Amino acid sequence: MPDTSLRHRIHEIIFEADTPAGKFFDVALLALICLSILVVMLESVSEFNENYGTLFFYIEWFLTIVFTIEYGLRLWVTINPVRYALSFYGIVDVLAILPSYLALFLANAQYFLIIRILRLMRVFRIFKLGQYLTEGDQLMKAIAASRNKISVFLFVVTILVIIIGSFMYLLEGGSNAGFSSIPRSVYWAIVTITTVGYGDITPQTRVGQFVSAVVMILGYAIIAVPTGIVTTEIINTKKDVSTQVCRYCSREGHTSDAVYCKYCGGRLNP
């Protein structure tokens, strides 16, 4: 069965990166995805769109066809196509080609643009190349471990900005157009407490400026909290202590490169 053999070889090229051909395929795909994102971004610049609109159009259709063929091959070579189609990358692959086809029927530019953004999800395919995956994994673990603490923190910050925003609305609302409603004032409070500080809304009254100053100093002190949480978790994921127990003295806490027990000198189990 030469066909099976071909399927097997294509599977190796498309899904794996161990062979030179597989590596080349992944790098080429990555480059095409980057090109695709670049085209979508430049297309939104009216100046470029006027001059190179046709070029962008052709590149876009070329990439759409390439990605469609790629998606078809992926479906063909996998043993369980349905499972692939419903996996995260399977769905992203469809979403990456669908907008171009939908644009044929939906002439309305506004909607067309909304759909186009989904193409950016293609970028996630880059992760497949992932020589940095272990590092990313460690980071994800640290973030996942600090999820609850970060949630509590964000909840408290949310309450805080609503109270501060309402208070500033009462102080500045009458005289300052920037604080014309509580939601706007809460937006200001978030802009301030995160130290972004656009300056599109600023306190004008003396009391308002004093309260703002207190909010800033507060933000300065509590910005330390999420940093402290994440740092602690990252340190914990790097605690290089194995689960080995010494047969002779039954003590643990050996580093992963230890051969002998550091307390009694007995040989540790490999």
Span 200-239, contacts to its own copies by CB under 8 A: 200, 202, 206, 209-210, 212-213, 216-217, 219-221, 223-236, 238
Q: Does 87 participate in binding its own copies (rule CB under 8 A)?
A: no
**DSSP per residue, 203-215:** --SHHHHHHHHHH
Among 9, 11, 128, 184, binds its own copies (CB under 8 A): 184
Min dist CB 268 to its own copies, Å, is 9
Distance CA 194, CA 187 (A): 11
Q: Does 89 participate in binding its own copies (rule CB under 8 A)?
A: no
Distance CA 84, CA 69 (A): 15
One-letter identity of residue 154: L
Residues in 9-38 that interact with its own copies by CB under 8 A? 37
One-letter identity of residue 133: L
Among 65, 170, 177, 207, binds its own copies (CB under 8 A): 170
Backbone angles phi, psi at 269, to 5 degrees: -60, 140
Among 177, 183, 207, 247, binds its own copies (CB under 8 A): 183
Q: Does 157 participate in binding its own copies (rule CB under 8 A)?
A: yes
Question: Phi-psi bin for 250: left (phi > 0), alpha (psi -120 to 50), beta?
Answer: left
Among 45, 55, 65, 91, binds its own copies (CB under 8 A): 45
Min dist CB 263 to its own copies, Å, is 6
Residues in 94-123 that interact with its own copies by CB under 8 A? 110, 113-114, 117, 120, 123
HEC string for 247-263: CCCCCCCCECCCCECCC
Q: Which span sits near its own copies by CB under 8 A: 5-13, 19-27, 44-52, 64-72? A: 44-52
Name beta bridge partners: 260.
Answer: 267
Residues in 123-142 that interact with its own copies by CB under 8 A? 123-124, 132, 135-136, 138-139, 142
Q: Does 86 participate in binding its own copies (rule CB under 8 A)?
A: no
Torsion angle, alpha carbons of 45, 46, 52, 58, to 10? 70
- Element (H or E) spanning 124, and its range? none
